[in-house]
Structure formats: structure tokens, C-alpha cells
Structure 1
Amino acid sequence: MFKKSVPLESRTPRSGVLERTDVLDRVKALSLLPDGMHVTTAMVAAYFEVAGTVVNNLLSRHRHELQSNGM
């Protein structure tokens, strides 16, 4: 197990939980665009109940990693 803040700061712990998307469905359903695969920034912000600027900041900070994971 790891501290809650560790996955936010280090890529290695995040990689270990990358496939754990099942936990998202246990909390609440993630709405998808009609293609069933994509979401908008606004949809992600609504899911996590944060402002769109929070999502954009994370996108800016971790763009390379997110793109390498299929964004």
C-alpha cells in the first residue's frame, strides 16, 4: 500500500494502478461521449467535482505521461 499523495507525485506508483479503472465504476458512472471511449475536459471535471482549470493544470503538468497512456 502507498500513501495517498505518492501517486500524485511519482509516476512509478501511478503505473502500478493504471489498469484499476474498475474502481471508478464503483464510485459513480463516468459519462462518455457517443463513441464510448472519450470524454471532454468538462466531463472529467464534473466526474471528479473539480473546476475545469484543475483538470487543465494536471493536463499541462503531466501531458507527456497522459499521451503515452493513450490520451
Structure 2
Amino acid sequence: TLYLIGIHPEYQKLGVTAIIFNSFIQTLKNKGIKICRRTPELTDNLSIDKIWKNFSPKLIKTRCTYKKELH
């Protein structure tokens, strides 16, 4: 499970994500890992969708978070 991967806004769009993911993918390959699960992610997080699009991701489950005011 991959969780809490993020880049500070000051460093976004500077190639930092590419550097991190290149190292990450090499580590997975070196360890023989062929399948991983990435969750949770916001459904409107287009940036993370762009990162994973070349890996042919498969949606296996979704979840929702609700907020209710208690009085």
C-alpha cells in the first residue's frame, strides 16, 4: 500500500516527483515487486492520476468520507 506521497507546493512542477518515482520504481523492480496498491486517493486528484497513468492502473475499490456536524 502506498500512502502519503506528496510534494510541497514550492517544489511542485520542478521534476521532484519524477526523481522520487524513478527511484521508487527501481526499488520495486529490484525487489521483484510487480503489483502494488495505492490508496486512499481523492477522486479529483488529477495530478496523481497523471503519475500513475503509464502503469495501467486498475480500480479495485473506492471509499467515501462523510462529515456531519454534531450539536
Q: Pick the TM interval, shorter chain.
A: 0.3 to 0.5
Question: What TM-score does the superposition give when structure 1 sets the normalisation length?
Answer: 0.34
Q: Give TM-score, length-normalised by structure 2.
A: 0.34
Structure (1 or 2) with the greater helix fraction: 1
- Pick the structure with greater CA Rg: 2
